[in-house]
Chains A and B, each alone.
Chain A
Amino acid sequence: MYRNHKTGIIGIIITVIVLILIVAFSNGENNASFFENVASKLVMPVQNGLTYLKNKISGNSTFFTDINKLKEENEELQAKNSELEQSLRELENIKTENEMLKGYMNLTEKYGEYKTIPAYVINKDISNYSKTIIINVGKNDGIQENMTVIADEGLVGYIVSVTDTTAKVQTIVDTASSVSATMSSTDESIVCKGTLDSTKELKAMYIPTDYNIIQGDSIETSGLGGIYPKGIHIGTVKQVEATKNVTDRYAVIETAVNFDKLSTVLVITN
């Protein structure tokens, strides 16, 4: 296996650490704050001890001698703390449930003109190259292929296949997706395509040569193509990329829906 067992184990440990560090530093804020927390937990006790020593030496210490009293107080506080933690957990459960129900309410109120069925996202594609999702409604709920899927913020995609209890949705950020759209300031049609390297951006192509695109322009579905109904919000123009040939220029669209955190959707059935 390994020429030297000890070297092998050290090698594996180093690889694990390297992997965790790569993951942490490549994913920005979330993991960074996690590591900050870990680091602070490791360093803070030492820091506290040093501060205490410093205070004691400089005569500012308020340390008192009644250790028994302190112990009692500590026990009481610990008991109270666990009670509070328990209630906090219960409250958090209620809060999550409440937010989910509010999400449903918002969705149905916003898209009241459409007949819709709510659904949860139960799975996401495990490949790096396609961005399909699976939802928990299917034929039994009246879902059919080519139905449009939306979320509170805007367009999600359409149903590509359906089983009795689940449906597969091709999201608009998938590289195989093309959505015919219009900009808020004009009636001209453009095509929004998914890109490989982002789950938050689309590439708007075939922009009319005589049209000036404005950053922040709202993009909506045009209703062309026969899948998506007209007027569903897709996103906003983030940036315009000029090319040598004006016909090749394209715009980067920031999707209204955050596909990384997508959990509830509505399927438009009419």
Chain B
Amino acid sequence: MLIYIAKRILLFIPTLFLVSCLAFYLKNNVPSDPVETLLSLQGIDETKAEFSEAYDAKRIEMGMNLPSFYFSIQSHYTAWLNSYEEESATKRFATELASRKYKKTDILKLISTISKLKGKEQRSLFICQKPQEIIERLDRPQLADLNDEIKLDIRIIVDGMNVNKVKWHYPTISWHGLGNQYHHWISHFIIGDFGVSLVDAQPVQRKIWSSMKWTLMLLIIGLAIAGLISIVLGIYNGVNQDSKFDRWSNSILFLFYSIPKFWFATVMIIFFTTAEYGSWTNIFPSVGDWPAMTGFFEMIYKSSNKLILPILVIVIPDVAYLSRLIRASIIEENNKEYIKTARSKGIPKRRIILSHLVPNSMIPTITLLAGVIPGALGSSLIIEVIFNIPGIGRLMFESIKTADWAIVFPIIIIVSTLTVIVFLMADILIAWLNPKIKLG
């Protein structure tokens, strides 16, 4: 049993590693530049004089100057850039040129020629991204008093560069060690430092935890109610298979199973929170702001009337899904030989159900209940958005809308971790219930 649990936990590590890699990959490919956004929150934007220095300093502080992963597979014509340790204008210049397939020797020659210039002129050339831009800038009046010799040198180098681009190329593997962005990010992540929000510079972890409480509360209440109802209903219908109640409730539940939760929620809000369709339809309080989260039970007590609708929306489709499957597993168990034997021996029906049928159909039921949780976390997003509940789903939604990527990816990792843990717990519970695994 212990070996089994240890094995399961070991298998759970690669999954989390892959999740974190995926989140990291997505984080590095977002359309906006987090450094620029964070600086603009501090009041430093591109028009300010100190921008470029502050930008470099911030990049180093955030570890963005480091290579992105433990190793990299690059083209040979960009691999030589790894030797630049510091974040600088020359490095960015060289990176831009190298990614356009200019040769290393040409780029270095160009850099050394430009470096002969004075500060301001040098800077104005190093922010160019193409050699053609440099030529265009040389003709501008700002650079008119430049040394003609250097101008000519630059022109010659650029002409040579354009003719002599990299043609054949091959991949190279370079090893970067622990000093890389992923390591920097994940080691902060593990100790609970998720960085700061790109919208209000608040610590991300605080925002996530405070909204997590809401989502977990809804999840637990919803699952407890749905589980209880569907177990009772499933067992009752399974035992009384093909009775009138079974047939009716089954087909009604099948209809409810197909109802999209967001439609259900929208219809409930439109019809039952306003007096638009007669005063009797104004049953539930309208969707508004929610009180601040304090204690778990205090919360439920305070906003209980507001919780009814969201919980109804969560519970009904879940009951429709779960009870049908629990019913099926009860029926399957009910047709087995040992139940027939028990029945023919004259054991009372009640005892057969409670001490044979229910315990033996427990294993598929637990798998089902665990399987509902990821779906519930996913649909929490839409329900929280519709009912304006400040949970993790709404935080995710609003962060995507406001391009606050610093929140989006930690949420993905946390929700995946939660899902994996739920599966793990279900597996362990099943192993504990199943004597085949427990003893073997």
Our verdict on whether A and B bind, yes or no, reads no
B-side residues, CB < 8 A to A, are none
A-side residues, CB < 8 A to B, are none
